[in-house]
Each structure stands twice: as structure tokens, then as C-alpha cells.
Structure 1
Amino acid sequence: DHPIDVHTYPNAKAKVYPGLIRSDTSKVTGASLQCEFPERINAEVAKWIAKSARSPNPLVVSNDEQGPNWLGVGIDSLDPAHDSFRRNALWGTLMAGGAGVEFYFGWGFRRHQTGNKDPIIGNDDTDTSHPYSTCSDLTCEDFRSRDKLFTQAFVAWRFMKDNHIPFWEMTSSNHLTEQKDDFVFAKKGDIYLVYTFANATRVEFSVVGNIAYSIHYWNPKTGGDLIDGGVVMADLIGGEISRRMSIPIPQTSRIGSSDVLMVVRKANWRSGGPTSTRKIVNGAGV
């Protein structure tokens, strides 16, 4: 009854996974991806979900072990914000449709801190000048050393649960936006999540037209309430199926973070309909 995942080296995915997803007799149920560079996690997870979905043996895809392998996730005292891992590992995986993340504590912290190659992994509890020494993936006994990142993972889980996000019906849809660093996760015509962290003042992306959408903003770093951005009507022009929306991003001081998760949802998804709307004309909200 337990899932069986296969984990590989970063450069071995193309050798290992195709045979597993093509097999209709394999007992393997998941692919646990190791990615050498966190910035590639979203694309890698989306890639193998798409390949798997078209195969006889679809796999549950997750992210496991973020590179570089000697570093991994830093401890809270040295990286309290964990911006890269929140954006690329946690939300990069979720916005690709991934099942979850295992945060990896790198093995070479002593080398990273001091340049010394002996020992590579420090085990000296008396060496207080290098706090990484006893917090590697082989030596760590206190997971509270990364408590701030685990808290952000809990915030992400609560967001999905409390806002009834139908993630099992959504797919990675980064192609809908022109901003190369943004993540888009969508059930087209129903709900779009857009994760942006480039300090943009506006986000532009395509939606199914002739639908009224509610706009909300949310802080993925600390959570909290959704910030209401009103309702917009994506009018059709010339029989087009989709419309490009240009949505303003509130100032960082209002969101509380330079990272913003936009929730663009069919306005009457609960009951009733919108009471007032702005039109999307030539791609801009007016």
C-alpha cells in the first residue's frame, strides 16, 4: 500500500525514468527528482509530469535533494529568509504540479565554511565558530535548525487547503505569461495561480475570455489573508478564445513581501456572480 519512488543522480533522469513510465507492469509509483540547480526545479518537475501523464504508468513526481549537493538548505541563523528554496524548491515544485518537497541538508558544510577539506563533514560539537558543522544531512539531529523553511512549507499547505485550490485538476502553464521567471499553475477558464518574485509592477498573462475573474494577492512567505484586487471582465474581441490580462501588483509594503502569489479565479466559483467588474480592453484592466 506504500508508494515506491525512484531517486537518481541529476544527470541520470533520461536513462532511468523513460523505461519506468513506459512499463505497464512496473510497481514504481513515483519519481523523486534531484536537481543540481534550484532554478531548474520547476521546469524539471513539469517536464516529467507531462512525460509521465502520456505514458502507461503515470508517476507521482516530487523534488528531493536540491543542489549543489554539498550545500543544500542553509540553517536559519545564516539564511533566515530561505528565499531561493521557497521560490524554486517549494513553490517551484507545487506550481509545476509536484506532490511535495524533501528539503536536503548538504554534506559539505565544513568545507563551505572554512575551505578545509579535512574533515569534509564536521562532527566537532565544540567548534561553535562554524555552526554548519553538525547540521549536514549525515549529522543533523535538530530539524529546528531549518524551522523557518518548514514553517513556510506549512504556510503553503494551509493556502492550498483553506482556499480550496483544485491542484489535482491544474497543470503547469508558464507559457501563458511572458515573464520568464514567473510560475503559472492553472485550470484554464477556472483558476490561475501566478507566482512572481521579480519586483514587477504588473503581470501579463493569457486567460480564457468572456469570463469575469476575481483577483487576489497573497504573501507566500508569511501567509495571512488574501488581499482583494477586485473583479475584471476578460472581454472577447474579434472572436478570440483568450485574452491577455495586465494586472497591477500592489507595492511590496502592502503585500509584505517581494514575492507575490496572484489568485485569478472565475468570479462566481462559489455562488452567485460578481457585483461589479472592470473590463479588460486590449489587455489592460480599466
Structure 2
Amino acid sequence: MKSFIILLLVGICLGCGEKIKEANLTNYQQWHTITLPFEGPDTKEDAAENPFLNYRLIVEFKHMETQQSIRGFYAADGQASETSADSGNVWQVRFTPDRMGKWTYTAQLQQGEGIALKGDDFEGVSIDITNASGEFMVIPSDKQGADFRTHGRLVNDKGYFRFKDSGKYWMKGGADSPENLLAYEDFDGTYRMQSSNEDGEAKTNDTIHSYRPHLKDWKNGDPTWKDGKGKGLIGALNYLSSKGMNVAYFLTMNIKGDGKDVWPYASPDNFTRFDVSKLEQWEIVFQHMQSKGILLHMVLQETENETMLDDGDTGPMRQLYLREMVARFGHHLGMNFNLGEENGYAEFTPISQNDAQRRAMTDFITEIDPYNHPILLHTHSHEPYRGYILDSIVGFKNLDGLSLQVDKREGAGEVMETWKTKARESGHEWMITMDEIGMWHTGAQSDSITPNHDTLRSNVLWGTLLSGGAGVEWYFGARNRYNDLNTEDWRTRDRLWELTGYALDFFQDNLPYWEMKANHKRINSNDAYCLEKPGEVYAIYLTDSKEHTIDLTAAEGTFQIQWFNPLTGGEMHLGTVSSIEGEGIRSLGRSSSKDNQDWVVLLKRTQTAK
């Protein structure tokens, strides 16, 4: 409270990295990233003494209640996003403090052959650096609304996203496409290696993303780099946020994959040298996403390249790649790692990681990530390939869940419920998100073709969320005009974002969904979906306006009935029956509207039986 009063008196609004002086200490805000620079030896990306392999920066942050060891990274001149520098003497560390009060830090830069691949307790030759120790104060965050710095870090809890510090649960909805979001012309060193015209892939030419339709969505005060670059992508993210969406899916490496236009390296054929300026420009975009409350769904590889590094093992090249991703971006509050798109064997991708390799990669990310981000596995779209892989790894403690792909949308809810149940029975609850809906060639089409996205709305959006899903993302298919690789304008699915937002609002405003389980048989309709906390609350999706019943034989008390329109969102409505009693099979009545459409029914117990 004392620190908060001081902040008010000073009257300074702190942004990420902004600071004030109080009692001779630098003050930072809770959940705002701190970037500390250290000057060491002059080097460059292609130096004979590889700065990514043969140097290691470790910074120990200590608080009276906790301490954390955070890896740093080579940052060229420390301003590479603006200068495009590939040389310099600056190393940096990024740290996001979760506790208020006084922190101290000590930094050590060491040199040695392959030391970046060694554990933190391995000793190398110590290198003198500036700013090697210090202390600072952490005061309350001034953020509000969707900004992740309002609530803190997202973790997996009970199969759902939860803010670790505030305890608030959170559900995602947003864009799975374009998967090559980072193939953007304003990023340094970014181009398409080869166009694609293969069956089973979206067609490409030599043009990468500009996001020009979203230039109008960039606002004064939004970030840019290099004298105005970045406005198209920043504007696109502004638009997505304005529709209430809170997640974007992107690959960080698609060498050999569909797009062949995203990689973190200085060159796509050398996996030991990273493009510092490009990665700094990615970081500007990622910071903006966090300020807009957009989850970073970071997909680490693609099915075509999952054995490119170390033949699929977590050997030196994969370890280096993962360490760089965690060191540079792991500080973000809203992020999950994805082991890779369509991971594992299928007929069309027979050269693939096996179960042991998936487990090893998962274990390594768990080991090196100081922030405990959820780790998900993106699945194949159908049986038997999905089951071959998942039956082997279900129950594995370090895998948080699935990034689910389903080919036939009418079965999406059943697939979700099946794997939620299998995971629960294994003793390790899985977070499962519905991230890619088929068929592969169609996915979510433009609003101009399917104005209300009827089958997606029914079977996928409501069907999977009411089957235990922790969120949904929309894949744009391979054969649509605006597809998974070439989409420049998210407005092509404007109505789909609206429909998704209505569902997210319903869940966040009305349900303790993290305490509920699917039980579709509760309703006398084969097409209905039901998520329940038995005897307390039931959320039911009906595909029509007919009168249906619910089995409340084992429930006691009085239940209020309200109706929600999934096409318009907004307020709840009363129907022809306002309340029902438990201990029997009861009619839900009908919506007061005469429209023959789908509806969501909410039952909440208002009083217990006498």
C-alpha cells in the first residue's frame, strides 16, 4: 500500500521498461518486463567464437520470498530492432517479476566451448561485464482491462488457463491463421525460400505478408520500428483485439514446411546463428500482443521439419533453438508452447518424431522454462494416427494438453470429450483447445460464403467448449481464396470473431466452467451439448427451438432457466418456463422468441429443496 501511495503522489504512469527513482532504487511495476543490458566483449552474429553457442549469460534474481535463475541472450548493439545491427558488445536479460517489494540481481557472463548447451551449474571462463549486480523495487501494476499485466501470468490449472497470481480463469478464442503470421515484409531477413503448389498445401507465390488492409487499424502511440515499419501487423492485432479475440497462432520455424518463410536464424541453413534484429522486431510485436491481451500461441515446428534438428532428438541444435526462444520470449505472461504442428507419424509425413522424442522435448522445455508456460501437442486430424500418438503419451505429467485438430466438424465435440475423459482417467487432467477444424481444404471460410458459420458455430464453437474445451482458434483452410498462408485481412472473418466473442462472454460471465464436465446425455436430443456442475449449474446448447427435457432426477432444489442467443449475444432472456424443480425429468420450455434457430439454455439452482 505504501508503494502504491508513492506511485500516486509521483503521478507517473509506468509502461513496460519505464522507471522512476524512489529511495535511490529504480522502481518497476509488477508483471511488467524488465530488460537489463550488460556490456561485454565485442562480437557479431557470425564471429568465429559463436556468441550464441560459446557464451552464456545467467542472471540470478532474488526476493525475500523467492529467487529465479534467468538465461540472457546476445543482443548485438542493444538496439538491433532499429539499427539492424549484427554486431556489438551488449547482452540482455528479460525478467517479469511476480512479487512486489525489493529485488536484487547478480549477472555472470561465461565463455566456453558449447557452454550455452550446458546446465547453469557448469563453470566456464568468467567474462567481465558492466552492470553485473544491482537492486530495484517492484510496485503495483497500473494496467487495466485485457492487458495481461492486469492479472499476471497464465498457467494451466484443472485443464484450463488461470492467472497464477489473481486466480482468475481465462478462456481463449481467436485466429489459427495465417500460420505464417511472422512471414512479414517489415521484419529483417524475412522472405519465402520457395513457393508451393503441392497438393494438400495452401498455394503460395514469392510474396509474403504486408497486412496492408490493416494499416488503417494502427493508432498513434502504437509501436513501430525503423522509421514507421510494422504498422500493418500491429494494426491487424489491434483489429483482432477490437473484436474481443485474445489469441493468435504462429509458427516460429517453418523451414521445409508449407510457407518456408519463417525462421529465427540469420540464415535458414545454419542452426547455430540467430538473427538478432529480426528477433528484436518479433519482440516488439509480442509486447504489443500482450498489451492487448492476445495469447502468444508459439508453435515451435511443423510436421515437415520436426526431424530437421538432431533427427528429432533433443540434441544440441534443438536445445539451442529452445533455449533462445525461452530466453528471448519466455518472459511473456500470456503464452503457451506448442511442440509442433501435426506432430508424429502419418502416411503423408512418415519421417517424424517418436514418442520418446516428444517426451524428451517436453521435458527439456519444462526444465529450461522458469515461468511454467503450458506445453501443448498439436494432433493429427483423425484416427488412427491421432490415437497412435496420444494413447502413448496420455498421462505424461509434463505435457499440459492438446492443441486439437479434427477433420470432420460434426464430431469435434465427441473427440474433445473422448480425450478429456482419457486424460482424466490417466490421473493427469489435460487442457485441450480446439485449434484446427477441417476439412483441411476448407476450414473456416470467409463470411461472404458462410455468413453465420452455422456448422462451425454449432459443432465446433459451442460443441467443443461445452465438451470441456479451454478455447477455440479458427483455421482458414488450404483452398480458400484467403487461406492459411496468404490471408492479409482478418476482416474476411469479421462475423466469425463476433460469434466467438459471444461464446467467450457467456462462459466468462455465467459459468464456473473449470469445475464443470460434459454430460450431453442429460438432454433428450442427440444434437444437444451439456456442460454441468451437477445439482448447481447446467449450460445447454440446442440446435433448434423445439421443447426439450433435462434429466434432473438426482438434483434437488429449484433451478432458474434463462436463454442466450448465440447469434446476437447480449442479455439473457426468459423463456416460456422460468424455473423448474429437481428430482425428475423436466421440460426446459422454449425461448420466448419465435425464431427457429439454435439457443443456449442456462440453468442455475436458486434454492435447495426444503
Contact 2:557–2:607 (CA<8 Å) still a contact in 1?
no
Contact 1:220–1:261 (CA<8 Å) still a contact in 2?
yes
Partner deviation per Cα, 1:70-124 (whole Å, 9 max, x = no partner)? 0111101121111111111111111001011111101012xxxxxxxxxxxxxxx
Shift of 1:268: 3.7
Instruction: Tell me the distance in 2 between the aligned counterparts of 1:162 and 1:29.
Output: 25
**Which residue number in structure 2 is paired with residue 19 of structure 1?**
392
SS at match of 1:54: helix
SS at match of 2:604: strand
Instruction: Tell me the distance in 2 between the aligned counterparts of 1:172 and 1:78.
Output: 32
**Which residue number in structure 2 is paired with residue 233 of structure 1?**
581
SS at match of 1:248: coil
**Which residue number in structure 2 is paired with residue 173 of structure 1?**
519
**In the superposition, relative to structure 1, how do residues 68 and 174 fare at CA in structure 2: closer, same or farther (>3 Å)?**
same
Instruction: Tell me the distance in 1 between the aligned counterparts of 2:556 and 2:399.
Output: 43
Aligned: 1:197 with 2:559? no
Aligned: 1:136 with 2:487? no
What amino acid is aligned across from residue 21 of structure 1 in structure 2? Answer: V
Instruction: Tell me the distance in 2 between the aligned counterparts of 1:69 and 1:39.
Output: 14
What amino acid is aligned across from residue 139 of structure 1 in structure 2? Answer: N
Aligned: 1:71 with 2:452? no
**Which residue number in structure 2 is paired with residue 223 of structure 1?**
569
**Which residue number in structure 2 is paired with residue 122 of structure 1?**
none
Q: 1:247 aligns with which of 588, 599, 603?
A: 588
TM-score (norm 2): 0.37
Partner deviation per Cα, 1:200-227 (whole Å, 9 max, x = no partner)? 2x11120134311101111012112111
Partner deviation per Cα, 1:31-66 (whole Å, 9 max, x = no partner)? 111111111011110110111012143221111211
**Which residue number in structure 1 is paired with residue 431 of structure 2?**
60
Shift of 1:8: 2.0
RMSD between aligned residues: 1.9
After superposition, residues 30-41 of structure 1 pair within 5 angstroms as 30-41=401-412
**Which residue number in structure 2 is paired with residue 150 of structure 1?**
497
After superposition, residues 58-137 of structure 1 pair within 5 angstroms as 58-109=429-480, 132=481, 135-137=482-484
Shift of 1:182: 0.4
Partner deviation per Cα, 1:118-150 (whole Å, 9 max, x = no partner)? xxxxxxxxxxxxxx2xx1001111111101111
**In the superposition, relative to structure 1, how do residues 2 and 257 fare at CA in structure 2: closer, same or farther (>3 Å)?**
farther
Aligned: 1:267 with 2:606? yes
**4+ residue runs of structure 1 moved beyond 3 angstroms?**
none
What amino acid is aligned across from residue 550 of structure 2 in structure 1? Answer: F
Shift of 1:251: 5.3
Give unpaired runs (5+ residues) of structure 2: 1-371
Aligned: 1:3 with 2:374? yes
Contact 1:252–1:258 (CA<8 Å) still a contact in 2?
no
Instruction: Tell me the distance in 2 between the aligned counterparts of 1:257 and 1:138.
Output: 37
Instruction: Tell me the distance in 2 between the aligned counterparts of 1:227 and 1:159.
Output: 13
Contact 1:46–1:172 (CA<8 Å) still a contact in 2?
yes
TM-score (norm 1): 0.77
Contact 1:215–1:265 (CA<8 Å) still a contact in 2?
yes
Instruction: Tell me the distance in 1 between the aligned counterparts of 2:548 and 2:500.
Output: 25
Partner deviation per Cα, 1:140-164 (whole Å, 9 max, x = no partner)? 111111011111111111112222x
**Which residue number in structure 2 is paired with residue 206 of structure 1?**
551
**Which residue number in structure 2 is paired with residue 282 of structure 1?**
none
Shift of 1:23: 2.7
**Which residue number in structure 2 is paired with residue 126 of structure 1?**
none
**Which residue number in structure 1 is paired with residue 529 of structure 2?**
183
Shift of 1:198: 3.0
Instruction: Tell me the distance in 1 between the aligned counterparts of 2:437 and 2:598.
Output: 20
> How many residue pairs get matched?
234
Contact 2:377–2:403 (CA<8 Å) still a contact in 1?
yes
Contact 2:535–2:556 (CA<8 Å) still a contact in 1?
no
Contact 1:21–1:56 (CA<8 Å) still a contact in 2?
no
Instruction: Tell me the distance in 1 between the aligned counterparts of 2:607 and 2:592.
Output: 27
Contact 1:170–1:187 (CA<8 Å) still a contact in 2?
yes
Give unpaired runs (5+ residues) of structure 1: 110-131, 235-241, 274-286
Instruction: Tell me the distance in 1 between the aligned counterparts of 2:522 and 2:509.
Output: 26
What amino acid is aligned across from residue 69 of structure 1 in structure 2? Answer: W
Shift of 1:257: 6.3
What amino acid is aligned across from residue 259 of structure 1 in structure 2? Answer: D
Instruction: Tell me the distance in 2 between the aligned counterparts of 1:34 and 1:188.
Output: 29
Larger C-alpha radius of gyration, 1 or 2?
Answer: 2
What amino acid is aligned across from residue 39 of structure 1 in structure 2? Answer: E
Shift of 1:231: 2.0
